[in-house]
Amino acid sequence: MAPFDLEKLITMKTAECEGLEPAGLLLEGACAARIVSVEAMPGGHNVKAVVDTGAYGTKTVVCGAPNCRPGTVSAYAPIGKKVIQGVESDGMLASAAELGINDDAAGIIELDLPPGAALPGCRPDSIIEIDNKSITHRPDLWGHHGMAREVAAIGRKPLRDPVDLRLVPKGPAAVKVSIEDLNLCPRYSALVFENVTIRPSPPWLQYRLTSIGLNPINNIVDFTNLVMAELAQPTHAFDRDLLAGDTIFIRPARAGERITALNQESYSLDPSNLVIADGNGPVAIAGVIGGLDTGITGRTTSIVLECACFNAASVRRTSGRLKLRTDASMRFEKSQDPENTVRAIARAMALLPELSPGIRVVGGIADQHRPSAPPAPVRLPLDWMNMKLGRTVEPDEVQDILERLSFGVSRPEPRVFSVTVPSWRATKDVSVKDDLVEEVGRMVGYDSIVPAPPAVLASIPPVNEERVFEREVRGLFLALGFTEVYNYSFVSEAAAAAFGWKPEDHVGVANPIASDQNLLRLSLLPGIRNNILDNSKHFDSFRIFEIGREIRKQPQGLPEETPHLAAAVYAKDDGQAGLFELKHAAECLLEGIEVRQAAALGYEHPARAAEILYQAEVIGRLAELHPRLIEQGRAAVLDVDLDRLRALRRPPGKYTPFRRYPGSAFDLSVVAGEREPAAELRKKLAGFAGDMLESIEFVRQYAGPPLPPGNKSVSFRLTVGSSRRTLSLEEVGAIRAGIIERMQALGYELRV
């Protein structure tokens, strides 16, 4: 099958492919060639070499490699003739980098092969790149054998298994394994080898690793990487002579333990990190990376090969905490098949004698694991499956598809299958009948299903009052010229401290998406503040708001989530206009809302803080952020509890006709202390006006001569009237005089 056709089939039936790249193009027709003679060429470093290529005969090539010398066997590539410095070069001698075997471009590759021999295991190939996100739920597809199993099922071809379990040695193990918690490490297998020779891997192994982006290192390390790529089973080799004692411990790290990893970085560990340890301490971070002190070196003569299965969440937590993701951790995070550890040991028994001639196995396999019952068969009613799938698939075809995918199928009753799930698909992948519908659907091809609307009656869902209310609030603030923002529900400890909140008062995040987002927010204001700081770099003024949930820790049970509105007005001015604008916005939320001056909280301006009240109940705050929180300009913020606001909201009122008779307006200016809130004066005037009051509006405020220092004059316009008749001038004057008299009785001076 052509690579392009295979890529398309994999995309349609298994996982999305991102591209197709050629590999090892120079290997087409390449063979070993012995250099017979070398003649220097004037004017440069190139030489004219005569080479014996075997199948192609004797060729003359121009080569610039420093190691081009008589007697050397290298790789000859028949790329055609080309004249270089007046000499006709027929083909070329290639470096390992040019062949795609490794990244060594310092000279031509040197081989131990007879002239004319093809490079074993090295031939042109095509690399299909798979999108990792499309196989997150398929740990078996993180290895080439798992993908080959899919291709075999798609193409109806037999699958060749590279593993021969008969090779697994029997007898007592040369090392002991001790797992402290089988929930964190369901299985750990180890095998000891001696008479190990550390040397470069053969070209075929280097070529395979290089083609998939892994750097060849040496034969033992390359073998572990090959098994990881082939079987999706990460493995690791310890230098046996550098391990303390004869027991390998798999346990949580002790507080204060440290390890220097193979990347030469030192890591501080805690009990949330699972480690592999010997008698002296940690020798590897389980599922993530090995330790430097017990790593393979050129002096290694004996190894312990480990193959393990670790708890996926534990590996993910450790990898995130240490900020270290490796090829191994990415696979362990997907929930590996515990049966795969012994398969990796069997693969070692087949390959290591070829990679390290003379290597000997010592004892049998050390294998500790948690016995687990096979998953229960999944009952699959075929009529139900056809209804869910949207097309009819015959029973024999369904059975054929499932068996090609290695599921076991029996028919306990008519038109019902009992399906046994293989171990590599029982890793939180396939567990219910709906999963099996997907298996059948992708193999028959979703393009074979004719799109049709569901044949079910549609009913209008009940109204979600909270959602409708929040939509109304959102529409109101958009109409007032505000821009909606969305922030994560997470905050950092630094952001919490800036508002005077302690980290322990928050709900902590077990697996934060970033190091600075490890707490669930107590308020929307830290996010709003970040929005203000970011936008103030580009705009001199703006209005923003967010509707979200505050998350508060409870003594027992789940946290409490309360919907809130947070709005902000930013400007590079004295900040007064922003406060009044947000006060107006609050009044627009619900008729009858009051704003009352209050003691400032730690993050509020000491002299600009107020409570929002409705029916004498506090439902929010209006304030200016403390200057230490804003680098430039002023930011007024409004924070309202939407649950309380919605609960206190009155039902829609009845229609009231417009007044038929005109009202009469007059102004009153009250002289009061400069710190007395205008709202308090307004409330007193309104109370003294009685039932005839139609409206009262703030007009202006003045401070200065001829008023005494520390005083101000606050002017209001009052409109009075009656629904039954037009008030006479005498009646209006009486109302006005009564207000003046009662205000004067309270000690106020009125300027009339």
Query: Are residues 493 and 571 both part of a single domain?
Result: yes
Structural domain includes residue 654: no
End-to-end CA distance of the chain: 98
Tens of pLDDT along 246-256? 999 999 999 99
Checking if the pLDDT of 454 tops 80, the result is no
Q: DSSP characters for 228-294?
A: HHHHS--EEEEEGGGS-SSEEEEEEPPTT-EEEBTTS-EEE--TTSEEEE-SSSEEEETTTEEBSTT
Q: Is the pLDDT of residue 459 over 90?
A: no
d(CA 287, CA 25): 36
Residue 162 lies in a domain: no
The residue with tokens 């936008």 is 535
Confidence bin at 381 (pLDDT 50/70/90): very high
138 shares its domain with 58 = no
CATH of the domain at 532: 3.30.930.10
Domain total of the chain: 6
What confidence tens digit (pLDDT) does each residue in 83-114 have? 999 899 999 999 999 999 999 999 999 999 99
pLDDT tens string 297-353: 999 999 999 999 999 999 999 999 999 999 999 999 999 999 999 999 999 999 999
Average pLDDT of the chain is 93
Looking at residue 648, what is its pLDDT?
87
On whether both 489 and 443 belong to a single domain, the answer is no
Is position 47 within any domain? yes
Would 656 be classed as within a structural domain?
no
Q: Which of 235-239, 474-478, 514-518, 546-550 has the lowest mean pLDDT?
A: 514-518
Q: How confident is the model at residue 540 (pLDDT cuts 50, 70, 90)?
A: very high
Tell me: do 573 and 705 sit in the same domain. Answer: no
Residues with Cβ within 8 Å of 33's Cβ and at least 6 positions away in sequence, in order, are 51, 52, 53, 54, 59, 73, 74, 75, 76, 93, 115, 116
Is residue 641 domain-resident? yes
> Is there a single domain that holds both residue 551 and residue 643?
yes
* Residue ranges making up the domain that contains 146: 3-23+125-155
Percent helix, strand and coil across the chain, each to the nearest 5? 30, 30, 40
CATH of the domain at 410: 3.30.56.10
Band (717; pLDDT cuts 50, 70, 90): very high
pLDDT at 511 (0 to 100): 84
Q: At what angle do helices 395-404 and 144-155 cross, to 10 degrees?
A: 150
